[in-house]
Every structure is written in structure tokens, then in C-alpha cells.
Amino acid sequence: MSIKDNIACIQKKIVSAAQRANRDPQSILLMPVTKTVAPEAIIEAISCGFAMIGENKVQEIQAKYSALEAFPHKTHLIGHLQTNKVKDVVGLVDCIQSLDSLRLAKKLQDRLAYEDKTIEALVQVNVSGEQSKSGVSPEEALALIKEVIQMDRITLRGLMTIGANVDDEKVIRQGFRQLAMLQQEAQQRFSHQADFSVLSMGMSGDMEIAIEEGATLVRVGSAIFGKRHYL
Ligand SMILES: *Cc1c(COP(=O)(O)O)cnc(C)c1O
């Protein structure tokens, strides 16, 4: 199967899942996740009509930058960002989906002000409570949002989560549902200060559940590019 075939197959699944949930398939964005993927394959995906990609490491985005420069696209950081990498990420990515602490937000705000730039961000929430995952706890999320909304260099767009790493579909679904509820709460509470319309959840294995629970952006890697080969 080619990248193009894989994408067509995923898009069909997105449409079916949306229909099952009585949602407009157009309201769901598919973002190719290109970590460990070579620039040639990324260019193939971009030429299928994708205007944005997700990467999880700053260093990897830097390494691929020149190879991808001629192919217009936006880059979303979806992996944990260390505060000492903030200066590298500003100007390099369009959205940080993994904003997960006040300390990181403050560093970003300062650096962005210094460079007179702005950035979009999603607050990452750890709905599964798994130790291996970053993200604030659901209880801390609204407090972090309240602080970040005051920061004029960071435009909050919504929430992101990684589904529970379990076989039980009910558990995965519950986590996504919790994120959707948090989003609604944030939308109500901060409606005049921010547009909280993005709900980034669902990957190759749990994308359809996420769509049924309200995802507006799914992050799909291996189902498009095949199994990852880590160096
Ligand atoms: C790798 C990754 C994905 C994509 O995972 P697949 O299972 O390959 O689709 C999505 N989101 C995040 C945060 C990731 O790190």
C-alpha cells in the first residue's frame, strides 16, 4: 500500500466514524505524524494535500527543515518540550500541542515577547494518569488554562491528549470523553477570551473512538507511513 492509498483508507474510516456519531466529517482534520519518517515520504504526504504535520522532537524538526522548506506546511510539536529548547522552537513550529506546565508557558511567553512573535498552543492533558505520559492532570487543566489565557504571545486553541495504552475500549473512550467534557467546561468559562475549538485526540489505533467522542484533529502516523523504525 502506498502512502496515498493509506491516506484514502484512513479518510474513509474518518467519514464512517463521523457518520456513526452524527458529525460532519469536514469538522475533523487528519494530521500526519511524521516522527522517524524520511523527508521524501513526508513530501509525498504533503503533496496529497496536507498542510500540516506533527513531530515530537525539536531536533528532528530542525534536521528535516531544509528538505521540507520548499513544500508549504505547518508543523505542530506533539512531544514534550523541555524549557531549555524553547528558544529553538520559536519560529520553527506553528503550534505546540504539548503545553503541559505553567513554567513552560512562562518561558515561551518571555521568549516570544523577546522575538516579537506569537504561537498557537493546546494544553496537553493526561487523562489516563499513566506515568509515562506528560500532560497536566484533568484537575489542574483549568487552572493552567486560566493562567495561559493571560499571556498575550500564546494563542490557546484547545486541548490535546494521548489515549490510554490499554486494550479495553471502554477505558480509552472514557478518557476521550473526559477531555471533551473539559473542553466544554473551558469553552463556557473562558468563552470571551479564547476560542477553544480544537480537540486533538486519537492516533492510528484509537482514532475512530476519538472521533465518536468529539475529536476535531486526529494525529496519525503508522497507519499512513507504516511501522516506525527508530534509529
Ligand atoms: C507518535 C504519535 C502519534 C501517532 O501515533 P501512531 O500510532 O503511529 O498513529 C500521535 N500522537 C502523538 C503525541 C505521538 O507521539
In tens, the pLDDT along 95-135 reads 999 999 999 999 999 999 999 999 999 999 999 999 999 99
Instruction: Say if CB 119 and CB 154 are below 8 A apart.
Output: yes
* pLDDT tier, 231 (very low <50, low <70, confident <90, very high otherwise): low
Q: Is there an atom of ligand 1 within 6 Å of 209 CB?
A: no
Q: Is there an atom of ligand 1 within 6 Å of 205 CB?
A: yes
Cα-to-centroid distance, 139 and ligand 1 (Å): 24
Q: What is the rounded distance in angstroms from the CA atom of residue 207 to the CA atom of residue 13?
A: 9
The model's pTM is: 0.96
Cα-to-centroid distance, 204 and ligand 1 (Å): 7
Cα-to-centroid distance, 186 and ligand 1 (Å): 25
Instruction: Say if CB 219 and CB 78 are below 8 A apart.
Output: yes
Cα-to-centroid distance, 205 and ligand 1 (Å): 9
Q: Tell me the Ramachandran region of residue 128: left when phi exceeds 0, alpha when psi lies from -120 to 50, beta otherwise.
A: alpha
Q: What is the rounded distance in angstroms from the CA atom of residue 24 to the CA atom of residue 26?
A: 5
Percent of the chain residues past pLDDT 70, beyond the cut: 100
Residue 194: its pLDDT value, please?
84
* pLDDT tier, 16 (very low <50, low <70, confident <90, very high otherwise): very high
Could you list the beta-strand ranges (E) of 62-197. Answer: 74-77, 95-99, 119-124, 154-160
